[in-house]
Amino acid sequence: MTRIANVPTLDLSEQRCLRNLPTAALIEYAVAGGEGRLAANGALVCMTGDRTGRSPKDKYLEDTAEIHDKIDWGKVNQPMRPELFDRAYQIAVEHLNGQPRLYAFEGWAGADVKHRLGVRVVAEQAWHALFASTLFIRQGSASDAGDGTWRHDWTVINAGRRRLTEAEQAEFGVKSPVLIMQSLTRKMVVILGSEYAGEMKKSIFYALNFDLPEQGVFPMHCSANVANHDARNISLFFGLSGTGKTTLSADPERALIGDDEHGWGNSGVFNFEGGCYAKCIKLSREGEPQIWDAIRFGSVLENTVIDGATRVPDYDDGSVTENTRVTYPVDFIPGARIPSAGGHPTNVVFLTADAFGVLPPVSRLTAEQAAYYFINGYTSKLAGTEAGVTEPQPNFSTCFGAPFMPRRPTEYARMLTDKIAKHGAQVWLLNTGWTGGAYGTGKRFSLKYTRAMVHAIQNGTLLEGRFSQDPIFGLHIPYSVPGVPSDVLHPRNTWKNGGAYDTQARKLAAMFRENDAKFEMRDEVRASGPRG
């Protein structure tokens, strides 16, 4: 553990810190301590307080000379002076040292032994340790392909129950009792004031997004799967939370590699995690059977309402938050690839939830369009995924993961285009958002149709078909997709008023052009964007 001058040492002695407890023991401690209760399906149900999503406005990065010139400073990467990181660390340590018991997880992030990072999570709540042991890779598990030797690289100190006082907020120059501080130099994360477990997950993803490019590995906010009978047929699904990464990669005809975070190195793709973190609002056995069956003893339900008498979860109840979540080990998905790694992808799919309702449900991208749409990262923020987001909001999230990327966008975009060119992957844009009108008027695309489009991509049917070019966005739209009505493929046909569609489409095209002006691009890449 890092020693900071004039700050007490975090007490991780065996007498008070329980390390790497098995799942059953962590669940027993969590229930006994009132942290959660067991649902009828065996899952542990926990509430995260007033923060039911990430708090990106409350996250800061320690600004040091070692990393300063490598960071894309701004609204996402907000700087904080080193002495204030020391102070946050002190507050967290003093709080945790005052607890009767602590829980620690020590495992890995990264299924590729050549590029993985050793992660230690220290928390006051047993369920946070269970979350970490589910999301990351346990030592000695089937997902751990190493030699049994653990290496300590990164530390997450979770003091989520300790909120900043008003005086401390003034000291830090912030206006919130929540503070998440990360140091790329000390390889440490301090969490204060938020019990939302996703902060731990995404802080380590942020670390990997900084560390791995220097090893020649492209870090990706994407899910991945592989055909059951063809190890060369690998698909990646890029997208922000709620756009379908987990849902579309959980497919009985394919083996899951991972649902959210991966690296693409010289040997192929590999999962950063040992578990999945799925949205479960409106979850049904019919619509998502693999995820439904993965919710059992050993999984964690966050902010999900359960019946007081029967303890049966009500996945349609969003009264706590629309961002209800479930965490489960990746091997809870039947046939998942363990260890979670594969070769180079044949198809790369960009997922967008278009709240304007004007993008086609599926389109093929040229190499230039792939670079353009990746660096713009257009989607919509969906309800509950961040504090304060209550309905879909049009959003450009650079590289489909801006909140988790410390480096400049062009660095990640260059790595993607180089990988695609070298390995010959085909790139697609898949709209899982609205059709027949914008949010509030139209409706979301049918999951049944979206799955049919994905299957047509993966089995090669779509690539072999004919395409027309959209006059405004320049996207190549297929004439037909097996199992999908042809009028659904052209969004203008789904609107009652074609003129209203044209107006809305040109509005979005103008937003693209306004956003792409922020980036340096080759002329041919910029020219491949919307024409409206």
Could you tell me the CATH number of the domain that includes residue 474?
A: 3.90.228.20
| Residues 211 and 260 grouped into a single domain | no
Q: Is 507 exposed, middle or buried (0-12, 13-18, 19+ CB in 10 A)?
A: middle
Amino acid (1-letter code) at residue 120: R
Catalytic hit among 54, 116, 337, 364: 54
Helix (H) or strand (E) holding 521: none
Do 237 and 174 fall into the same domain?
A: no
Q: Please confirm, yes or no, whether 221 is among the known catalytic residues.
A: yes
Residues with Cβ within 8 Å of residue 22, at least 6 apart in sequence: none
From the candidates 133, 241, 363, 380, give the one annotated as an active-site residue.
Answer: 241
Catalytic annotation, pick one of 187, 221, 337, 407? 221
Does the annotation count 245 as an active-site position?
yes
Last residue of a domain, one of 197, 217, 237: 217
419 catalytic residue (yes or no):
no
Q: Which of 202, 364, 381, 492 is catalytic?
A: 202
One domain for residues 247 and 118: no
What residues are paired with 59 via a beta bridge? Answer: 180
Query: 332: which DSSP letter?
Result: G
**What span, in angstroms and rounded, lies between the C-alpha atoms of 173 and 84?**
10
285 found inside a domain: no
Q: Which DSSP state fits 366?
A: -
What number of other Cβ atoms are within 10 A of residue 483's Cβ? 12
pLDDT for position 33: 97
One domain for residues 65 and 139? yes
Domain span at 109: 17-34+53-217
CA distances from 432 to 161, 447, 451, 513 (A): 36, 8, 10, 22
* pLDDT at residue number 8: 82
Residue among 52, 143, 203, 246 flagged as catalytic: 246
Residues 136, 273 contacting (CB under 8 angstroms): yes
Asked about 202 being catalytic, the answer comes back as yes
Tokens of 260: 């959210």
Is position 260 annotated as part of the catalytic site?
yes
Closest CA to 29 of 121, 111, 125: 125
The mean predicted confidence, pLDDT, of the chain is 94
The sign one gets for the Cα dihedral 271, 272, 275, 276 is negative
* Cα separation values, 300 from 201, 255, 272, 328, Å: 14, 22, 19, 7
363, 519 contact by CB (below 8 A): no
The helix-helix angle for 198-211 and 126-135 (nearest 10°) equals: 40
Rounded Cα gap, residues 339 and 462, in angstroms: 30
Buried/exposed code over 77-87 (b: 16+ C-beta within 10 A; e: otherwise): beebeeebbbb
State which amino acid sits at residue 109: A
- pLDDT tens-digit readout, 454-496: 999 999 999 999 999 999 999 999 999 999 999 999 999 999 9
pLDDT at 49 over 90: yes
297-325 per-position pLDDT tens digit: 999 999 999 999 999 999 999 999 999 99
Which of the listed ranges 3-7, 19-23, 352-356 does the model predict with the highest average pLDDT?
19-23
Considering the domain architecture, whether residues 137 and 194 belong to the same structural domain is answered as yes
CB 129 within 8 A of CB 94: no
230 and 116, same structural domain? no
Mean pLDDT, residues 230-259 taken together = 93
307 catalytically annotated: no
Domain count within the chain: 2
245, 364, 381, 476: the catalytic one is 245
Q: What token pair was written down for 169?
A: 């907020």
My answer on whether 22 and 132 are in the same domain is yes
Tens-place pLDDT, residues 338-361: 999 999 999 999 999 998 999 999
Query: Within this chain, do residues 227 and 124 fall inside the same structural domain, yes or no?
Result: no
Are 85 and 106 a contacting pair, CB within 8 Å? no
For the stretch 496-510, pLDDT in tens is: 999 999 999 999 999
User: Is the CB of residue 513 less than 8 Å from the CB of residue 530?
Assistant: yes
Instruction: Please name the residues in contact with 17: beta carbons below 8 A apart, sequence gap of 6 or more.
Output: 11, 101, 102, 103, 104, 122
